Amino acid sequence: MTKVKMCGLYRDEDIQAANLVHPDYIGFVFYKKSHRNVDIDTAFRLKSKLDTSIKAVGVFVNEDISFIKELVDKKIIDMIQLHGNEDEAYISKLRNIIDNPDVQIIKAAIIKSEDDFAKYPDLIKKSISESSSVPDCVNNINADYYLLDSGMGSGSSFNWDLIIDTNKPIFLAGGLDCENISEALKKVKPYAVDVSSGIETDKVKDLEKMKSFMNLVKTAEN
């Protein structure tokens, strides 16, 4: 089954709901400009209440690597999602400092046109990445997964027809909800889907929407 990540959990009630519906991943947003932002103490408390079979992903935007390492060392997060301008050098340094192959990295790729894929040559198939459309100045990011999105917390989807053959497993994000998830799964066939505002009511996680979303993912693949 396609894996599910429910992002932007910041209340005890969100964790309780996640434990009931049981996504594969939940996301803690460590970005002060987001209304879903959590501090380290809150994240520590929430992680302690999370079902141990659910992985916690830390979401960062151009964050200081030492802070990410602290969260990993304290076992507050199990995976890392980078949503800023992090490049090959940043990710290489991050891997070296954390020095734990079990902590995988998801790199967000903002897709607004097909040309945007050229910025991430290790994401696309070799035959495409060797084409003249890929700039020589672009370095391989070498993430474990890519998250295709329309923008940081935009709440809107992008044209899924833009998605070309990928060389890495992808998380599909951007405006997913109970109305379009079945179509998204059929058209894109991603490794995982990432939902946040689509399972909220008035910017708060909604248990009934979370249940419906999970059921739709399961139903779409039966």
pLDDT of residue 67: 98
What is the rounded CA–CA span in Å between residue 59 and residue 77? Answer: 10
Give the residue from 74, 64, 141 showing the smallest Cα distance to 109: 141
- Is residue 20 within 8 A of residue 72, CB to CB? The reply is no
User: How sure is the predictor about 134, in pLDDT bands with cuts at 50, 70 and 90?
Assistant: very low
Q: Does the predicted model carry a pTM greater than 0.85?
A: yes
Mean pLDDT is lowest, of 58-72, 141-155, 182-196, for: 141-155
pLDDT of residue 118: 73
pLDDT of residue 58: 98
Rounded (5°) CA angle 90-152-3: 85
